[in-house]
C-alpha cells in the first residue's frame, strides 16, 4: 500500500518534470559532441570499472566527460573520482534532493548517455530533468525524455550498448547549419 503511494507520487513528479522540460534539443554525433555527461548506477564495481574505461576512451578522443553515479547504499561511499549521490540523498518518492545531483541536471552537455538498463527511479528522474542537448538511453516502456533509444539483448552488457551507440551516432549526418551551431 505504502509503496504504491510512493510510486504514484514519483510518477506524478516525473510526468511534471517531463512536461515542464524546456531544454534546447540538438542532434549530435561523436564528432560534434564536445561535452558528454554519463549517468549510471555506480553500486556494482564491475559496472564502475567499465564505465570509467569508456569515459577515459572518450577523454582520449578530446571529449570533456562528466561521470555522475548513484549508489543504492545508505552510507556515502568514499574514494571515487566521479560525482555521485546515494540512497540517503533522495526523498521519500525516490527523487534526488542532493545539491550535486540537481546541479548535474542543470548542466548542459551536448550528450547525456544514460547507462542503466534496470529501473532506478532516482536515475530516471535525473535523466528526465537533465538539460542536455541530446539524451541517449536504453529502450524501456517507462516514461523518459530520450532522443535516441537503443534496444539491446538482455544478456549483452554495457560494452555492447556502447558499441551500438557508437554505430548509430556515426550514422548521424549533421547539416551545415547544425554543424555550425554545435561548434
Residue 180 has pLDDT above 50, yes or no: no
- Residue 145: pLDDT band (50, 70, 90) is confident
- Residue 178: pLDDT band (50, 70, 90) is low
pLDDT above 70 as % of the chain: 96
Contact 94, 17 (CB under 8 A): no
Residue 121 has pLDDT above 50, yes or no: yes
pTM metric for this prediction? 0.88
| Pick from 60, 66, 138: nearest CA to 101 | 66
What is the mean predicted confidence (pLDDT) over 154-169? 90
What is the mean predicted confidence (pLDDT) over 95-115? 94
Residue 93 has pLDDT above 90, yes or no: no
What is the mean predicted confidence (pLDDT) over 9-16? 80
| Pick from 55, 51, 56, 30: nearest CA to 40 | 51
Domains and CATH numbers, the chain: 2-182 (3.40.50)
| Residue 162, pLDDT score | 92
What is the mean predicted confidence (pLDDT) over 8-34? 84
| Residue 176, pLDDT score | 62
- Alpha-carbon distances, residue 10 vs 30, 53, 65, 131, 135 (angstroms): 33, 33, 29, 20, 21
Amino acid at each position: 500500500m505504502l509503496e504504491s503511494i510512493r510510486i504514484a507520487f514519483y510518477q506524478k513528479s516525473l510526468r511534471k518534470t517531463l512536461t515542464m522540460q524546456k531544454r534546447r534539443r540538438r542532434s549530435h554525433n561523436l564528432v560534434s559532441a564536445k561535452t558528454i555527461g554519463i549517468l549510471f548506477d555506480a553500486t556494482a564495481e564491475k559496472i564502475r570499472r567499465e564505465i570509467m574505461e569508456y569515459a577515459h576512451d572518450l577523454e582520449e578522443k578530446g571529449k570533456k566527460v562528466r561521470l555522475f553515479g548513484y549508489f543504492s547504499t545508505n552510507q556515502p561511499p568514499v574514494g571515487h573520482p566521479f560525482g555521485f549521490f546515494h540512497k540517503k540523498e533522495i526523498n521519500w518518492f525516490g527523487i534526488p534532493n542532493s545539491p550535486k545531483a540537481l546541479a548535474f541536471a542543470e548542466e548542459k552537455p551536448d550528450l547525456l548517455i544514460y547507462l542503466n538498463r534496470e529501473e532506478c527511479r532516482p536515475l530516471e528522474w535525473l535523466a528526465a530533468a537533465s538539460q542536455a542537448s541530446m539524451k541517449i538511453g536504453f529502450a524501456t516502456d517507462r516514461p523518459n525524455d530520450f532522443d535516441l533509444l537503443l534496444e539491446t539483448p538482455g544478456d549483452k552488457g554495457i560494452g555492447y550498448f556502447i558499441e551500438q551507440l557508437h554505430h548509430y551516432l556515426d550514422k548521424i549526418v549533421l547539416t551545415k547549419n547544425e554543424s555550425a551551431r554545435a561548434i
